[in-house]
Each structure stands twice: as structure tokens, then as C-alpha cells.
Structure 1
């Protein structure tokens, strides 16, 4: 399967992927675009600019296209993550959704499963004081809308995981047929 783990920053995506990588040794992990771009010398603004999120969106789509036929892949983030950031960015008016949506839809549909890691009522990840919690919450809400309401008719299965790390891992493994208990849409 081709699986992308998606969610706002500091929601537990990378931790979940690390655990899944240990439990699914036949899966290859593709690092998130931010880290790949940074390794290539891309310099991000602080806080990230609209162009920074556009660059991550481009890279995320390229990664899905490069590996379109590859099976057993875990992607750290999906194009929808960056769509969430772009739609909530203070300069979101400069983002032309209609221009980007056909390609976003096309590459997202190459995935078999989107694992959504939302912020929970009792936040499991401590947010450093210097980070913008309002932006994090806005992105989480936007992603929940995009993934669970499917306003862009993506047609990809979404598994929303919750609970402690071990429970989240068990939910994904159950969906993959490696255990029991799941929460999904479609």
C-alpha cells in the first residue's frame, strides 16, 4: 500500500511513522519535504512564508509522482498537509487553489490510505512557547475539513487515529490487516 501520514505540526506524525517503520519492515519511508528541501540547501523563513509552503507542496507532489508505482511506501506528509497550511496562511489570498487543485487531486489519488493524526482534546504533544498554537489549531481544523468532509472529492480512504502512541499504531496495523480496531471514513 501507499500510505501518507498527515496532520499539523507537532501532532505525532513522525513518531507514528517511526513506530510503523519498526512494525512494517517491508515498507520504505519517504521523509517529509521540509527535511528533504533543507538537506538540499533550501532556506525557510521563520515563520514559513507562503512560498515556503508552495515549495513543500511542489516537492510533496513530485515525491508521489516519482513513486507512483512503488508499493509499501510510508510518506511523511502529503500534499494535503501543505494545502492546509496554504489555506490558513495570512497571505492565503495569494494562493490560487483552482490552479493547484487538479494536480493535488491527481497525485493524492495515487495513495491507498491517508492516516490523519489530529490534535486531540488533551494535547499529547507539548508545544514550545515560541510556536504559534493558533496557527497549529487552524491547520488542524482545515485538515480535518479537507480529509473528513472531502470537499475536493479526493476519494482516498482516511483513517483518523487517536489515543496514545501504541493505540495509534494498533489502529493503523488493524487497518492493514495486522491487528484489530480502526476508525475510518469510506
Structure 2
């Protein structure tokens, strides 16, 4: 039996987050999977600009924080993305000067601290997912760098454990399952 945890999988687009979540959901059958805010908002009728504008990322940030806050006591949850994902996109957006980080920071930190583990899926040297021609590889790399800074350098002293995963899908799954197993032995 694994640890009872709240886990978020984070990373820039097209790094294999959703694939990892799907595989973890299969292996951790007692866990509930929460889809990423983009898809949940879309299902609720929210219309995103293409490419997403600053307000689209703010709406996803709001929704992500609500998901974490609403189910704060719930355990055995896998979140596809967390508020830090959207900070990464907002801080690298071409209109980032319009984003007031200080206005959001306390609530972002508070919601992140409801998590037991953040699994970071970085861009790897040999990219595992081919980018479509319309995707901006520089923007993707900027978001990846910003997320690495937020998660690994921890400038806001979030204090949440971060597991950076690498390798194939099965290697990534194994890394997370090993960490979840260690959590079970510690409790």
C-alpha cells in the first residue's frame, strides 16, 4: 500500500506530464486523477485564445488554486499541473509586465503547501515528444527554465518536496512509485 499523498505533476507543454499522470493513475488505482485546469475550464465553456493570452493563464492559475484549496483534506490525489505551472507561463508571457506576482504570491504559496509532492517533468536533452511546427520551442524552453527555478531553486521557500523525473515513461513511473513507497514506510 502506497503513501496517502497529494501529488502534482508539473512541467512545460509537451514533456509527457499527461502520459505520466495516465500511467500513474493505472498503477496507483486508489488515487483520483484531477485533469489539468485548461481541460476542466474548456469543459465548463471557457474559450481560450490561440495562443493563450495573459488572462487565460490567470484563469488557469485561479482554477488550479481552487482545485488544491477545495480538496485540501483529500488524500490520494494526482493533479495534472499546479499553480506553479501557470506562474511559469505568466512570468514568461510577452505581457508579463501586466502580471503582478506580489498580488498572487501568498495564495499560490498557500495552495502549493497543500501538496505532499510535486513531480517536475523537465525538457530532456533528447526531447521525448516531437513539437508540432506551430509550437514555439523558445517559449517552451523559457517556461521550463522558469519552472526549474521556481521548483528547484525554491525562491519563495515553498518547502514542498520536488521530485525531478527523467527517462522513458516507465522509468519516470518507477521514480514516482519509489518515492510514494518511501512515503508509506515513513508514516
Given candidates 160, 167, 176, the residue that maps to 1:172 is: 176
Q: Secondary structure at the match of 2:8?
A: strand
How far apart are residue 9 of structure 1 and its match? 0.4
Asked whether 1:59 is paired with 2:67, we answer: no
Q: Secondary structure at the match of 1:163?
A: coil
TM-score, scaled to structure 1: 0.95
1:150 corresponds in structure 2 to 154
CA RMSD of aligned residues (A): 0.7
TM-score, scaled to structure 2: 0.94
Q: Secondary structure at the match of 1:141?
A: helix
Asked whether 1:16 is paired with 2:20, we answer: yes
Q: Secondary structure at the match of 2:87?
A: helix
Query: Deviations along 1:9-47, whole A, 9 cap, x unmatched?
Result: 001000000000000000000010000000011000011
How far apart are residue 148 of structure 1 and its match? 0.2
User: Which aligned runs of 4 or more in structure 1 are off by greater than 3 angstroms?
Assistant: none
How far apart are residue 136 of structure 1 and its match? 0.5
Given candidates 67, 70, 76, the residue that maps to 2:74 is: 70
Q: Which runs of 5+ in 2 are unaligned?
A: 183-187
CA distance in 1, matches of 2:102, 2:83: 15
CA distance in 1, matches of 2:53, 2:139: 13
2:38 corresponds in structure 1 to 34
- Which protein has greater RCO, CA pairs closer than 8 Å, 6+ apart? 2
For this pair of structures, how many residues does the alignment match? 178
Q: Which runs of 5+ in 1 are unaligned?
A: 179-186
CA distance in 1, matches of 2:37, 2:104: 17
Asked whether 1:89 is paired with 2:110, we answer: no
